[in-house]
Amino acid sequence: MNGSRASISQIDGQAMIARRDRFLGLLGTRSVMMGILNITPDSFSDGGKFFTLDAAMQQAKKLAADGADIIDVGAESTRPGHTPVAVEEELARLEPILGRLARSIDIPFSIDTSKAKVARRAVELGASVVNDVWGLQKDPAMADTVAETGAAVVLMHNRDNVDSGCDIVADMRSFFDRSLRLAANAGIPSARLILDPGMGFGKSRAQNFTALANLAALKDYGLPILVGVSRKSLLAGLTPVETSLVRTLAANLAAAANGASIFRVHDAADHVAAFKIFDALARR
CATH number, domain of 198, equals 3.20.20.20
- Name, in order, each residue with C-beta under 8 angstroms of 93's C-beta and a sequence gap of 6 or more: 39, 40, 51, 75, 85
Q: What is the mean pLDDT of residues 24-32?
A: 96
- pLDDT band at 213, cuts 50/70/90? very high
- pLDDT band at 55, cuts 50/70/90? confident
Exactly one of 264, 276, 283, 284 is catalytic; name it: 264
Separation of alpha carbons 263 and 257, rounded Å: 12
Residues 263, 271 contacting (CB under 8 angstroms): yes
List the one residue out of 267, 253, 284 whose CA is nearest residue 31: 253
List the one residue out of 113, 117, 128, 111 whose CA is nearest residue 192: 128
Give the per-residue pLDDT at 11.
Answer: 47
- pLDDT band at 20, cuts 50/70/90? very high
List the one residue out of 12, 240, 248 whose CA is nearest residue 126: 12
Question: For the chain, what is the domain count?
Answer: 1
Range of the domain at 134: 2-283
Q: What is the pLDDT of residues 161-180, one digit of tens each?
A: 999 999 999 999 999 999 99
Least confident stretch, 51-55, 205-209, 274-278: 51-55
Q: Does the annotation mark 20 as catalytic?
A: no
Q: HEC string of 22-68?
A: HHHHHECCECEEEEEEECCCCCCCCCCCCCCHHHHHHHHHHHHHCCC
- Mode of pairing for the β-strands spanning 129-132 and 152-156: parallel
Exactly one of 19, 121, 232, 247 is catalytic; name it: 232
Q: Does the annotation mark 49 as catalytic?
A: no
- Name, in order, each residue with C-beta under 8 angstroms of 63's C-beta and a sequence gap of 6 or more: 35, 36, 37, 71, 268
